[in-house]
Amino acid sequence: MIKAILIFNNHGKPRLSKFYEHYNEDTEQQIIRETFHLVSKRDENVCNFLEGGMLIGGSDYKLIYRHYATLYFVFCVDSSESELGILDLIQVFVETLDKCFENVCELDLIFHVDKVHNILAEMVMGGMVLETNMNEIITQVDAQNKMEKSEVSLTLFDIYS
């Protein structure tokens, strides 16, 4: 199971947080801070696994993260997930974002966090991996966006008619 997915930048500013278990807002912020603290002090060329987040998880949990330019993508997972598999998943996630936003950068995530959530929802659901095939994910995301667009034009039509 995936317990949480966090994206924050090099300064620890959250860009997306998705918790699959309930915490109150304060704890969530603490977790983000703690995770940032743990992850940011690591060198670039060390392994991507980290044990010992105090607030989230416990002995069975690991932090698996990747660092892309200004952003950290962190997954907190338990032992039922394959470590290397999750690393691949992060890669798929980032590549999907790249496709959907066309050369994704931090600004895209800052201004369109809702879209990022929608993409993520096609990959991970309730803490379990739903889909790993990038094309399938993009197809579903596009179809939904198309629907949204048609609804918007309908709305305008409603208003002005």
Partner 1 sequence: MALKIVKGSIDRMFDKNLQDLVRGIRNHKEDEAKYISTCIDEIKQELKQDNIAVKANAVCKLTYLQMLGYDVSWAAFNIVEVMSSSKFTYKRIGYLAASQCFHESTDVIMLTTNQIRKDLSSPNQYDTGVALTGLSCFVTPDLARDLANDIMTLMSHTKPYIRKKAVLIMYKVFLKYPESLRPAFPRLKEKLEDPDPGVQSAAVNVICELARRNPKNYLSLAPLFFKLMTSSTNNWVLIKIIKLFGALTPLEPRLGKKLIEPLTNLIHSTSAMSLLYECVNTVIAVLISLSSGMPNHSASIQLCVQKLRILIEDSDQNLKYLGLLAMSKILKTHPKSVQSHKDLILQCLDDKDESIRLRALDLLYGMVSKKNLMEIVKKLMLHVDKAEGTTYRDELLTKIIDICSQSNYQYITNFEWYISILVELTRLEGTRHGHLIASQMLDVAIRVKAIRVFAVAQMATLLDNAHLLTGNVQRKGICEVLYAAAWICGEFSEHLDNPTQTLEAMLRPKVATLPGHIQAVYVQNAAKLFATVLKSQEGNTDSTAAQETSQLMIDRLPLFVQSANLEVQERASCILQLVKYIQKLQQKDVEIAEEVIALFAGELNPVAPKAQKKVPVPEGLDLDAWINEPPSESESEDEQPRAIFAKEEPKHSRPRHTEVDEKELAKRREARKQEQANNPFYIKSSPSSQKVYQEAPGVEHIPVVQIDLSVPLKVPGLPMSDQYVKLEEERRQKDRADKKKKEKKKRKEKRSGRGKRHDSGPESEEDITPAHMVDIVTEEMPENALPSDDDDKDPNDPHKALDIDLDNLMEMAGRRPLADSEKLPVRSHRAAEVLKSPAQDGDAESAASQEPKKKSSKEKREKKKDKDRDRKKSKEDKKKKKKHKHEEKGEDLLGGQAEEPVVQSEATSEVAAPPTSTTAEVSDLDFWLSNAPVPSNTQEAATVVAAAEAAPTSEVASGTAPDSEPDEPKDTETEETKSSKHKKKKQKKEKEEKEKKKKKKHHHHHHHSDGGGEESVQNGTVEEEEPLPPMSNYCLLAENSYIKMVNDIQGNLQDGSQVVVSVIFENKCDSFLKSMEFNVLDSLNSKLQRPEGSGPHDGLTVPFQLPPGVSNEARFVFTMQSIITPQKLKGTLTFIVKNEDSSTHEKLDFKLHFTCTSYLISTPCYSDAFAKLLESGDLKCSSVKLEGVVMPFHHLLARICFRHHFSVVERIDSCASMYSRSIQDHHVCLLVKTSGQTVSIDAKCDEPTLLGNVLDEIKQTFSQC
Q: Contact between 87 and partner 1 (CB under 8 A)?
A: yes
Region binding partner 1 by CB under 8 A among candidate stretches 42-50, 68-76, 93-101: 42-50
Tokens of 76: 């907190």
The alpha carbon of residue 58 and the mean position of all alpha carbons in its chain are separated, in whole angstroms, by 21
**Binding region for partner 1 (CB under 8 A) out of 68-76, 98-106, 153-161:** 153-161
Return the residue of 10, 37, 54, 85 that touches partner 1, per CB under 8 A. 85
d(CA 122, CA 136): 9
The number of residues that bind partner 1 (CB under 8 A) is 55
Asked if 37 contacts 11 with a C-beta cutoff of 8 angstroms, the reply is no
Helix, strand, coil percentages, rounded to 5, for the chain:
50, 20, 30
Q: Is 58 left (phi over 0), alpha (psi -120 to 50) or beta?
A: left
Does position 20 bind partner 1 by CB under 8 A?
yes
Residues near partner 1 (CB under 8 A):
1, 14, 16-18, 20, 22, 24-26, 28-29, 43, 45-51, 80, 82-85, 87-88, 110-114, 117-118, 121, 125-133, 136, 140, 143-144, 147-148, 151-152, 155, 158-159
